[in-house]
């Protein structure tokens, strides 16, 4: 789920606990260009506080003005549409022809926000169903393939980490990868059987597991919403895990290392009874070429490539590390190119 939406839910919980009236606003449909996607959320409190966003700011201003002038008086959900006319589109900062439809619901103890947050803290994937007629709310377990659904009588919104990232190796680079991936709403697991690397390694919200990586890959039952990144440089740890990951449905499998190391790794993987098609799924040298040299920059490079794969965006040949390094070596033989 969008990490901004998580802050919205937490704000609703705090306001309700404080005895304040508040409303939850959700983008349920857009036509044409729109500043925020379907599922984006905003919370507005009777004291004028706002958390989250459903537009570039103008719709928020209108909602705040209505709240100040009329108060938060809704007792049932309501659907509002902005941007039908050219004048409205201009007034609310929507691109020409843009239209946005919002569901606005009053939030109270029966809105299941606290229970939802508790279950999200356990990394559950939850479907929250709002009856658009009565305002009744129910929670149920969701699957990673479920999407937001809206009908005339109900809205079902999916919350929780739909995407999983397994990082093999507890080092400095993995720390940056984990922190950024958390912000991208991945459920992040770090695996390292080496005690000397795990000592002192901690990122809030990340599970660190002492296990052999290949055993954990099998145990996790990786699906098409899973990614694996190997960072140990140790074939005894990386290769077996990569072998199992490449046999799985994981949408992304990558390993850090130089061009020569990755070529050797592919040769070793052939000995594990993997076919060429499976090995061709391995990303390495890993990342997008952005000239990165620090661990933080390399993490961004790696996650940029992983995001492109997740979104089905093919990378240009010159954006790939291997091609960029070859070009760099040809143009500047003495230069050191990392990422």
* 3-class DSSP assignment, residue 190: strand
Q: How many CB atoms lie within 10 A of CB 48?
A: 9
Listing DSSP states for 36-93 in one string gives: S-TT-EEEEETTS-EEE-SSSSHHHHHHHHHHHHH-S--SS-EEEEE-SSHHHHHHTT
Domain extents in the chain:
3-159, 163-331
124-173 confidence digits (pLDDT tens): 889 999 999 999 999 999 987 889 999 999 999 999 877 899 999 999 99
More confident residue, 127 or 123: 127
Model confidence at 259, pLDDT cuts 50, 70, 90, reads confident
39-91 confidence digits (pLDDT tens): 999 999 998 899 998 876 678 888 888 888 888 999 999 999 887 555 665 66
Phi, psi (rounded to 5 degrees) for 66:
-65, -40
Q: Provide the sign of the torsion angle of the four alpha carbons 102, 107, 111, 114, taken in this order.
A: positive
The pLDDT assigned to 109 comes to 95
Which DSSP state fits 94? Answer: P
The pLDDT assigned to 337 comes to 46
The first and second tokens of residue 286, run together, are 């890993």
Q: How many CB atoms lie within 10 A of CB 275?
A: 11
Is the model's pLDDT at 38 over the cut of 90?
no
260-288 confidence digits (pLDDT tens): 898 999 999 988 888 899 999 999 999 99
Sequence-distant (≥ 6) Cβ neighbours of residue 11 within 8 angstroms = 22, 43, 45, 49, 51, 52
Listing DSSP states for 200-245 in one string gives: T---TT-EEE-S-HHHHHHHHT--TTEEEEE-S--HHHHHHHHHHH
Class of the CATH-defined domain 163-331: alpha beta
Model confidence at 338, pLDDT cuts 50, 70, 90, reads very low
Distance CA 305, CA 283 (A): 9
């Amino acid at each position: 789920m969008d990490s901004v939406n998580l802050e919205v839910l937490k704000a609703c919980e705090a306001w309700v606990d404080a005895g304040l009236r508040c409303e939850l606003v959700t983008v349920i449909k857009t036509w044409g260009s729109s500043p925020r996607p379907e599922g984006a959320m905003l919370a507005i409190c009777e004291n004028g506080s706002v958390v989250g966003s459903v537009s570039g700011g103008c719709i928020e201003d209108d909602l705040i003005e209505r709240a100040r002038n009329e108060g938060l008086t809704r007792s049932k959900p309501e659907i509002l549409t902005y941007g039908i006319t050219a004048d409205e589109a201009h007034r609310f900062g929507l691109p020409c022809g843009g239209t946005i439809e919002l569901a606005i619901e009053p939030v109270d103890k029966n809105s299941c926000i606290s229970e939802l947050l508790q279950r999200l803290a356990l990394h559950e994937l939850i479907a929250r169903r709002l009856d658009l007629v009565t305002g009744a709310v129910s929670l149920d377990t969701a699957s990673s393939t479920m999407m937001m659904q809206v009908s005339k009588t109900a809205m079902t919104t999916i919350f929780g980490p739909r995407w999983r990232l397994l990082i093999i190796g507890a080092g400095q680079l993995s720390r940056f990868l984990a922190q950024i991936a958390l912000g991208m709403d991945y459920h992040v697991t770090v695996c390292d059987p080496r005690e000397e690397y795990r000592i002192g390694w901690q990122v809030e919200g990340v599970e660190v597991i002492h296990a052999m990586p290949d055993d954990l890959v099998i145990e996790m039952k990786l699906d098409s919403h899973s990614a694996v990144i190997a960072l140990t440089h140790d074939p005894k740890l990386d290769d077996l895990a990569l072998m199992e990951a490449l046999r799985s449905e994981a949408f992304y499998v990558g390993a850090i290392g130089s061009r020569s190391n990755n070529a050797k790794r592919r040769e070793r993987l052939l000995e594990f009874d993997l076919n060429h098609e499976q090995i061709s799924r391995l990303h390495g040298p890993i990342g997008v070429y952005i000239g990165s040299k620090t661990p933080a920059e390399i993490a961004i490079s790696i996650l940029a490539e992983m995001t492109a794969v997740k979104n089905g965006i093919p990378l240009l040949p010159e954006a790939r590390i291997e091609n960029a390094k070859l070009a760099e070596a040809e143009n500047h033989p003495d230069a050191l190119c990392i990422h």
